[in-house]
Amino acid sequence: MQIDGKPWRTIWRDQAGGVGIIDQTCLPHSFETLTLASLQDAAVAIRTMQVRGAPLIGAAAAYGLALGLDEDPTDIGLERAHRALAETRPTAINLRWALGRVVDSVCALLPEARAERAFAEADAIAEEDVAINAALGRFGAELIKEIASKKPGRTVNILTHCNAGWLATVDWGTATAPIYQAFQAGIPLHVWVDETRPRNQGAFLTAWELNHAGVPHTVIADNAGGHLMQHGQVDLAIVGTDRTTRTGDVCNKIGTYLKALAAHDCGVPFYVALPSSTIDWTLTDGRAIPIEERAGTEVSHISGRTADGRIVEVQLTPNGSGVANPGFDVTPARLITGLITERGIAPASAEGLAALFPERARTR
């Protein structure tokens, strides 16, 4: 992604041996970067959502483990770093997948060789994420082109939920990769951006990155999607996922299920874009996915920027009202038109995923 004429990724190795990130808690009001210099920094960044989005959480955790091994490369240090990072967020499977990859790459090595090998594995995870998202973007862009060819001269309207964008990955995004590639190919398109209460990742992050990429878009209240679908104003929906079962159930940001229900009722194609690292091959039922319960203050309060540039937080709910804040929900496979992966578009089913990933489907 170009930001002010300069190419950026969302995570990188810096000159001083640390790991650079964009502090996403400051967006869209200010663009700030920071350096993760320790295991503790990495764990805090994931927990407080300075980095977020399933693939980026995976890459950040991999770098976090490398930083931890730099501090203590012993078996005890490895175990401690793994535990600290695994506990940061429960839903996105990429976190555990990336930690597992780094552990496997270092556990047989002598302690003094571990940190360097772990950094190399984290680099590989980050590079692969870029290539995978570019590949799934090509398959998704073909889909958008096909829809565009059926309505010549008219704009393709795409609805997305949360931020499954550039900011949620190392580059390209998942749900946004097809959008960016179709846009770059000259397909006239427009994106409906669900604001995605309570943390507003759509309004804050997706809108910010689409703005930078010059992609036409409109931010809508979460409740507007069904109405727009009923009135023929959505040609397709594309969302991301934090964990997808081997049977094609999709866990994603809270509210995704309601959009899928509305899309099903209105005959709007509903696609999920995902790198295969987001598939949990051990699960056959989405109801088994652990759902993160987040702080109630995300619901009871809201923050924003005043006209004179101050960031303020205000309370929405009366004192004394209870609040609940499940961060994710599960959309059953039957509501999903297709899964856009790096190997092609699969039906959301055990057979569909097994046909694309036979070597993984054989394992449990």
Which residues are tagged catalytic? 242
Among 50, 201, 331, 337, binds ligand MRU (CB under 6 A): 201
Q: Determine if 164 is a binding residue for ligand MRU (CB under 6 A).
A: yes
Q: Determine if 342 is a binding residue for ligand MRU (CB under 6 A).
A: no
305 assigned to a ligand binding site? no
Closest contact distance (angstroms) between CB of 170 and ligand MRU is 10
- For helices 54-71 and 93-106, give the axis angle rounded to 10 degrees: 30
Closest contact distance (angstroms) between CB of 164 and ligand MRU is 4
Do strands 344-346 and 338-341 pair parallel, antiparallel, or not at all (unpaired)? antiparallel
Q: Which two tokens stand for residue 272?
A: 């999920």
User: Between residues 55 and 137, which has the closer beta carbon with respect to ligand MRU?
Assistant: 55
Q: Determine if 45 is a binding residue for ligand MRU (CB under 6 A).
A: no
Quick one: which segment of 164-172, 211-219, 296-304, 306-314 binds ligand MRU (CB under 6 A)? Answer: 164-172
Give dist(CA 217, CA 159) in Å, integer: 10
40 assigned to a ligand binding site? no
Count residues contacting ligand MRU (CB under 6 A)? 17
- For helices 93-106 and 111-149, give the axis angle rounded to 10 degrees: 140
- Report the site for ligand MRU in 80-119 (rule: CB under 6 A): 92
DSSP letter string, 283-316 = -S-GGGSPPPBPPTHHHHEEEEE-TTS-EEEEE-
Q: Determine if 356 is a binding residue for ligand MRU (CB under 6 A).
A: no
Looking at the chain, list the stretches that DSSP marks H as alpha helix, in order from N- to C-terminal side: 39-47, 54-71, 75-86, 93-106, 111-149, 176-184, 201, 207-213, 225-230, 256-266, 297-300, 350-356, 358-361
In the chain, count of helices (H) and strands (E)?
13, 18
Q: Determine if 241 is a binding residue for ligand MRU (CB under 6 A).
A: yes
Calculate the dihedral angle through the C-alpha atoms of 211, 212, 215, 217, rounding to the nearest 10 degrees.
Answer: -10
Q: Which two tokens stand for residue 124?
A: 């590989």
Q: Determine if 181 is a binding residue for ligand MRU (CB under 6 A).
A: no
User: Between residues 55 and 248, which has the closer beta carbon with respect to ligand MRU?
Assistant: 55
**Euclidean distance between the first and the last CA atom of the chain, given in angstroms as a whole number:** 37
**Ordered strands of the 243-245 beta sheet:** 279-280, 243-245, 250-253, 328-331
Q: Determine if 242 is a binding residue for ligand MRU (CB under 6 A).
A: yes
Q: Determine if 162 is a binding residue for ligand MRU (CB under 6 A).
A: yes
Q: Determine if 77 is a binding residue for ligand MRU (CB under 6 A).
A: no
214 assigned to a ligand binding site? no
Quick one: which segment of 53-61, 80-88, 107-115, 300-308 binds ligand MRU (CB under 6 A)? Answer: 53-61
| CA distances (Å), origin 275, targets 97, 217, 272 | 12, 24, 10
Q: Determine if 248 is a binding residue for ligand MRU (CB under 6 A).
A: no
Closest contact distance (angstroms) between CB of 251 and ligand MRU is 8
Among 252, 331, 337, 341, binds ligand MRU (CB under 6 A): 252
Residues that bind ligand MRU (CB under 6 A): 52-55, 92, 162, 164, 168-169, 174, 201, 240-242, 252-253, 327
Sequence ranges of the binding site: 52-54, 89, 201, 252-253
